[in-house]
Structure 1
C-alpha cells in the first residue's frame, strides 16, 4: 500500500502496520545474517516507527524522483540504514537483488546511508546534521508553495550536538508547520549509555516552540494516536519523542547492554531469527 493522500491513512489498520513492522524486522535480519556484525539493534528498535511513518503518515510513491509534492523523510542517523533499506524494499524502491548487497564493498547500500541510494534523501552518518537539512528543505518547500512535508528522524545522542538545537530554534522561529521531527530515544550512544543528561527532553522542545508528543516508540497504537495529535497543530513544527528498545522483537538482543554495534557469533543468527518468529506469536 502506498500513501498518496492524507485521507488514505484511515484505511490502514493497526494490524496491517504491525504486520509491516514484523516484515521490516524479517528483512533486516535477512540482510544482517551473513555479516556477523552491524547496527541491527537500532534498526529493530525503530521498525514500528518506520512502519507508521511510511505506511500511514507520509505521502510517498515509488516513483518519488518524479513527484515534487512527495513528502520527504530524512534519516539523520545514517547508521540506521538497514531499517531504511528494509522499508524501501517493502515499498518496491529497492529490489531483492539490491538488498542482497547490503554492506558489501562497492554496494549502493552501505552501512551508513548516502544520497545516491534510491529513496534516500541525505548522506547520513555524521550526526547532528539531519535536522538542519530538514529545516532547509521545509523552508524551501514553503517558499515554493508546495504542500509537501518533511519528517526528520534523529537520535537522542544527536541531542548532545549544538547544531541540533540551532536547527530546533530556527524551526520554531520560522514556525515551520510542514516539519516533523521524530526523536529515537533509546538511551544509548556509541560506547554505552548517554553521556549527557538530556531529560526532560519534551520540555526542551516545547521551549523552542514545537508541538510535542511522547510515546512508547514500539507501540503501534500509541504512535498512530501521537501523529494524529500532532496534526492538530497546523501552526508550528512538531516533534514525536519515541522511547524505543534496541533489538525490539528479539529478546536476546533486547537484553544486551552494548547494543550500538552488535556482533553476532557464527551460527547465532538462526536462533535469533527463530526468536523473532516466536515472539510474534
Structure 2
C-alpha cells in the first residue's frame, strides 16, 4: 500500500475499534487507538512476513501484542489482513466469542501468544527470538509494549536477557503515549527516558513518530533488513497520542478502559470521516 492507502486503512481500523468496543459495552479504546498506526505499518506496509491462509507457516515473522488490553486494535488488524471475517469483530467480549478481552492464541488465528498480564510480552518475544536462532528458522520477532507496562520489573529482566544473548532479530516497539490507567506515567511511576533506559540495558534505540505510517514503514523495514543474530536487539520509541483520532479521547487517561456511548460513537465516527476527506 502507498501512504494514502495506509492512512485509509488505519482510519478503517479505528472505526472498527470504536464500533466493536461500543457494541461490547467495555474495552480499551485509548491504547488501541494509539497503536493503530504501528499495527497498520507492520501488517499493511510490507514489513511483516505473514500468511493468513497458513498462520503457522515456518519462517514467518512473529508479532506479540504485549499490551494485550489493546486487543481491539489487533483483532481489527487481523480481520482486515484476512485472518477472519470483519463481521466477527461485532462479537468482541460477548459470550462464546473467540474475540475475548485479551487475545487468546488457542482461539484466534494470527495471535501468536496469549497476552494480557503486563510485563510478560517482552519475555515471550525474547524467548521466541532465541528459539528461532537455535532452530535456524528465518523470521523476526516484533512486539508492541505500552510505556506504562515498562514499569513492570519483568520487562527489564527480559531486556537484560535479550541484550546479553544478542537477539538482533527482536524489535520492540514502545507505544509511548505517556498515559496509563491511573494517569500520566511520569506521575504514577516515572520510567524516565525509555530510549536512554533501553540503551543502558544494551539495546540499540530508534525513535519515530508513532502516527507517521510512512516513517514507521521505512524505519521498521530497514531494521528488519539489518536484523542479524549477532547484534543487539532494537527498541523503537514510538511517540503516540492516547485516543488518537478522536478529539474527546486524545490525551485523556479516562478513556483507557471505557466504552463510548452510542452518541459518543457517532461523534467519533464523524470526526474520523471528516479527517479522511
TM-score normalised to the size of structure 1? Answer: 0.90
1:254 to 217, 230, 250: 250
- Select 1:271's aligned residue among 253, 267, 275: 267
Structure 2 CA distance for partners of 1:218 and 1:48, relative to 1, 3 Å: same
Match of 2:154 in 1: 163
Count of residue pairs the alignment pairs up: 270
CA distance in 1, matches of 2:262, 2:269: 13
Residue 184 of structure 2 is aligned to residue 193 of structure 1: yes
Corresponding residue to 1:149 among 140, 146, 151: 140
Q: Distance in 2 between matches of 1:20 and 1:97?
A: 16
Deviations 1:123-164 (A, max 9, x none): 111100000011111111111111111111111112111110
Q: Which runs of 5+ in 1 are unaligned?
A: 1-11
CA distance in 1, matches of 2:259, 2:21: 10
1:24 and 2:16 matched: no
Q: Is the 8 A contact 1:250 1:279 kept in 2?
A: no
Task: Give 1:172's aligned residue.
Answer: 163
Deviation of residue 65 (structure 1)? 3.4
1:52-201 correspondence runs (5 A): 52-55=41-44, 56-116=46-106, 117-194=108-185, 195-201=188-194
On the 8 A contact 2:19/2:265 being kept in 1, the answer is: no
2:232 matches 1:241: no
Provide the rounded CA distance (Å) in 2 between the counterparts of 1:19 and 1:157.
29
Does structure 1 residue 224 correspond to structure 2 residue 217? yes
Secondary structure, counterpart of 1:262 in structure 2: coil
- After superposition, the Cα gap between the structure-2 partners of 1:207 and 1:233, relative to the gap in structure 1 and judged at 3 Å, is farther
What's the secondary structure of 1:34's corresponding residue? helix
Confirm or deny that 1:14 pairs with 2:3: yes
2-structure distance, mates of 1:192, 1:71: 34
Q: Deviations over 1:38-88 (max 9, x none)?
A: 201211111110011112211011023341111110011111000000011
Indicate how the Cα distance of structure 1 residues 249 and 147 shifts in structure 2: closer, same or farther if over 3 A, else same.
Answer: same
Residue by residue over 1:21-48, the C-alpha shift from the partner in whole angstroms, topping out at 9 and shown as x without a partner, is: 1121122122123233320121111111
Superposed displacement of residue 257, structure 1:
4.3
Residue by residue over 1:79-138, the C-alpha shift from the partner in whole angstroms, topping out at 9 and shown as x without a partner, is 100000001110110113422211112211012112122111111111000000111111
Structure 2 gap segments, 5+ residues each: none
State the distance in 1 between where 2:65 and 2:86 align: 21
TM-score w.r.t. length of structure 2: 0.92
Check whether the contact 1:41–1:248 (CA below 8 A) recurs between aligned residues: yes
- How far has the Cα of 1:228 moved from its partner? 4.4
Alpha-carbon RMSD: 1.7
